[in-house]
């Protein structure tokens, strides 16, 4: 995009914001971690995150479209010769590129939604389908399999280490009675149940400036889950709301993992600096906050799909 004359902020902001949607839209690692901690159905949480995820992606598309229309110098149009591609040819290429991911996604989410398998076994189905597709595309080798397994163990080890330390912290925190103090503080917030809910969401939003999302979940979920229950909120709705809120943690400096990954992955020749990315992600942070308000007004956007699931 930058080589085509796009604004650095617009280009990097779009990449960061759209890239972190993968942590929300199924199959979401965040939800897989959150569900067992809160003793909630991972399958229902996955399908509860579908609509919010697509609302966010649609909002991002609308923002880029409107911004590019109002300020065409930020996103120059594609040259006419590159646009002169027959519609059927573009459709064929789109279907060809989307087919394999769609099959892979259905092999995981389809078996969950249809009640064939719970999330753990569904993950195995997805891994098996990925191996079959790698064989079909002639990209499978034992070297690739070894690399994938080593990477999986490294990531799992990191998550378990963070989880162990976080659980130790929470254990000490609750052991000294601090959990009850936090509960009383939140429950006593002005505005009733919605005031308490707003305070929880605000705290999680602030934590996103300084702590990784995994640490936030391990620290807060054991404390806020019983509070949500005491306030009378639907547990799936409340959990997905927290996950939507945590989208901002990838874009809010100084921690902002998404910003630094984008900066590190970009070619040095493009001349991208961290401030370009920060300026680019600010509108998307505002969009996430607006979507949170929308989901508060219309909670059915989260609860509708889980209600249609076939119980195993």
For residue range 107-120, list pLDDT tens digits in order.
888 888 788 888 77
Dist CA 121 CA 116 (whole Å) = 9
Non-local CB neighbours of 227 within 8 Å, separated by 6+ positions: 183, 186, 187, 196, 200
**152 C-beta neighbours (distance < 10 Å), count:** 11
The answer on pLDDT for 75 being more than 70 is: yes
The 10s digit of each residue's pLDDT in 272-302 is: 999 999 999 999 999 999 999 999 999 999 9
**Do residues 23 and 29 touch, judged by C-beta distance below 8 A?**
yes
Torsion sign (Cα): 280, 281, 286, 291: positive
**Do residues 295 and 302 touch, judged by C-beta distance below 8 A?**
yes
In this structure, what token pair is assigned to residue 141?
């080798």
Question: Residue 48: which of 60, 30, 62 has the closest Cα?
Answer: 30
Return mean pLDDT, the chain. 89
**Do residues 64 and 10 touch, judged by C-beta distance below 8 A?**
yes
Helix 274-297 with 50-70: angle, nearest 10 deg: 130
**Burial (Cβ within 10 Å: 0-12, 13-18, ≥19) of residue 73:** exposed
Rounded mean pLDDT, 224-252: 94
Q: Where are the domains of the chain?
A: 8-79+87-308
In this structure, what token pair is assigned to residue 151?
């990477």
The band of 38, judged by pLDDT with boundaries at 50, 70 and 90, is very high
The band of 137, judged by pLDDT with boundaries at 50, 70 and 90, is confident
Question: Residue 162: which of 201, 213, 209 has the closest Cα?
Answer: 213
Dist CA 230 CA 46 (whole Å) = 23
pLDDT at position 79 = 81
Dist CA 276 CA 266 (whole Å) = 12
């Amino acid at each position: 995009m930058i080589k085509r004359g796009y604004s650095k902020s617009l280009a990097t902001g779009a990449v960061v914001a759209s890239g972190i949607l993968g942590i929300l839209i199924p199959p979401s690692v965040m939800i897989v971690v959150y569900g067992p901690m809160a003793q909630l159905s991972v399958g229902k949480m996955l399908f509860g995150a579908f609509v919010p995820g697509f609302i966010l992606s649609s909002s991002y598309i609308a923002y880029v479209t409107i911004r590019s229309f109002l300020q065409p110098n930020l996103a120059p149009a594609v040259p006419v010769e590159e646009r002169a591609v027959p519609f059927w040819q573009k459709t064929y290429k789109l279907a060809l590129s989307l087919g394999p991911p769609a099959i892979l996604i259905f092999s995981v989410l389809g078996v969950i939604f249809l009640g064939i398998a719970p999330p753990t076994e569904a993950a195995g189905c997805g891994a098996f389908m990925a191996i079959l597709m790698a064989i079909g595309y002639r990209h499978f080798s034992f070297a690739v399999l070894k690399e994938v397994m080593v990477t999986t163990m490294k990531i799992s080890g990191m998550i378990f280490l963070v989880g162990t330390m976080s659980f130790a912290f929470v254990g000490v925190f609750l052991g000294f009675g601090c959990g009850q103090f936090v509960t009383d503080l939140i429950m006593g917030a002005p505005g009733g149940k919605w005031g308490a809910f707003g305070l929880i969401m605000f705290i999680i939003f602030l934590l996103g400036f300084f702590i990784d999302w995994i640490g936030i979940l391990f620290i807060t979920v054991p404390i806020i889950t019983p509070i949500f229950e005491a306030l009378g909120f639907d547990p799936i709705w409340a959990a997905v709301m927290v996950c939507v809120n945590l989208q901002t943690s990838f874009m809010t400096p100084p921690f902002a993992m998404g910003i630094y990954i984008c900066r590190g992955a970009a070619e040095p020749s493009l001349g991208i600096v961290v401030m370009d990315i920060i300026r680019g992600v600010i509108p998307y942070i505002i969009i996430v906050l607006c979507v949170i308000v929308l989901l508060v007004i219309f909670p059915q956007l989260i609860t509708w799909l889980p209600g249609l699931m076939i119980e195993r």
